[in-house]
């Protein structure tokens, strides 16, 4: 099966194409411009690189959050449109799990963090299971970096925009904590596809109706409305 993987959950944007043998091509854009301006162009270039047409797709995978509210909506709505137009199966995966995915063979626990703005980070802890794949050790949460730092295991490897932004906070609280290499702090569509591949094989797919963003917390607009009522 040929399937496409998409991530636009943070300031970067990434698209990858897979077949049964694995990754075929990937493009990742980190300039930080509005995803709505270039996501479809990246998808078109990715398909063209392998001489594929959207109708060749048997599946489409996307990171469903947490992340930026606008980025998540753009990515998920784009994937839904492709799925409806091509009748492809859809799978949504955690943005934090995709961020941690390349760290599967790291020594000790992996804590993935995404900058949630307002002085907070989205975070979740993962550990390497018997299969060699990362497994979630804690649920996804959002909190102040100081609170996250206080709960970090001594031998943790931290990764993501949140880890990078607040690295001094984490280093001061847990000197033994390790920061992942710079290349790993961007979510790659290849990791989204790596997580989705097994679910496609097992037929554990989502539906267009149930594929919705996992925001974790309310948007600024929702908080403002609640405070006004």
Domain boundaries defined on the chain: 3-94+187-228, 96-185
Residue 180 carries which DSSP code? P
- Kind and range of the H or E element at 221? helix 220-228
Rounded distance, CA 192 to CA 189, Å? 5
Beta strand extents in 140-208 (DSSP E only): 141-143, 157-159, 178-179
Q: What's this model's pTM, rounded to 2 decimal places?
A: 0.93
Res 224: pLDDT: 38
Nearest to 124 by CA among 106, 108, 142: 142
Q: What's the fold here for domain 3-94+187-228?
A: Nucleotidyltransferase; domain 5 (3.30.420)
Per-residue pLDDT tens digits for 27-44: 999 877 668 778 999 999
* 35-49 and 69-86 helices, crossing angle to 10°: 40
Q: Are strands 3-7 and 13-19 parallel, antiparallel or unpaired?
A: antiparallel
Same fold, 3-94+187-228 and 96-185: yes
Check if the beta carbon of residue 35 is closer than 8 Å to that of residue 13: yes
Residue burial 105-143, b: 16+ Cβ < 10 Å; e: rest: ebebbbbbbbbbeeebbbbbbbbbeeeeebebeeebbbb
Rounded distance, CA 115 to CA 66, Å? 10
Res 33: pLDDT: 66
The CATH architecture one would assign to domain 96-185 is: 2-Layer Sandwich (3.30)
Per-residue pLDDT tens digits for 157-202: 999 999 999 999 999 999 999 999 999 999 999 999 999 999 999 9
Per-residue pLDDT tens digits for 88-135: 999 999 999 999 999 988 888 999 999 999 999 999 999 987 777 889
Check if the beta carbon of residue 201 is closer than 8 Å to that of residue 193: no
- C-beta neighbour count of 221 within 10 angstroms: 9
Check if the beta carbon of residue 113 is closer than 8 Å to that of residue 163: yes
């Amino acid at each position: 099966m040929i399937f496409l993987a998409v991530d636009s959950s943070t300031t970067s944007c990434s698209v990858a194409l897979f077949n049964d043998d694995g990754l075929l091509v990937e493009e990742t854009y980190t300039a930080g411009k509005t995803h709505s301006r270039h996501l479809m162009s990246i998808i078109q270039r990715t398909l063209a690189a392998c001489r594929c047409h959207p109708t060749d797709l048997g599946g489409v995978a996307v990171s469903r959050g947490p992340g930026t509210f606008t980025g998540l909506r753009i990515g998920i709505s784009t994937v839904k449109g492709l799925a409806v137009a091509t009748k492809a199966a859809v799978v949504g995966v955690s943005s934090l799990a995709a961020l941690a995915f390349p760290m599967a063979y790291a020594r000790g626990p992996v804590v993935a963090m995404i900058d949630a703005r307002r002085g907070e980070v989205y975070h979740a802890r993962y550990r390497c299971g018997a299969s060699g794949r990362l497994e979630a050790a804690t649920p996804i949460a959002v909190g102040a970096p100081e609170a996250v730092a206080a709960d970090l295991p001594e031998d943790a490897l931290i990764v993501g925009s949140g880890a990078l932004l607040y690295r001094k906070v984490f280093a001061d609280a847990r000197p033994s904590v390790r920061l992942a290499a710079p290349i790993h702090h961007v979510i790659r569509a290849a990791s989204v596809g790596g997580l989705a591949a097994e679910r496609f094989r097992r037929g554990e797919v989502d539906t267009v109706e149930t594929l919705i963003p996992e925001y974790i917390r309310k948007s600024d607009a929702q908080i403002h409305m609640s405070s006004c009522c």
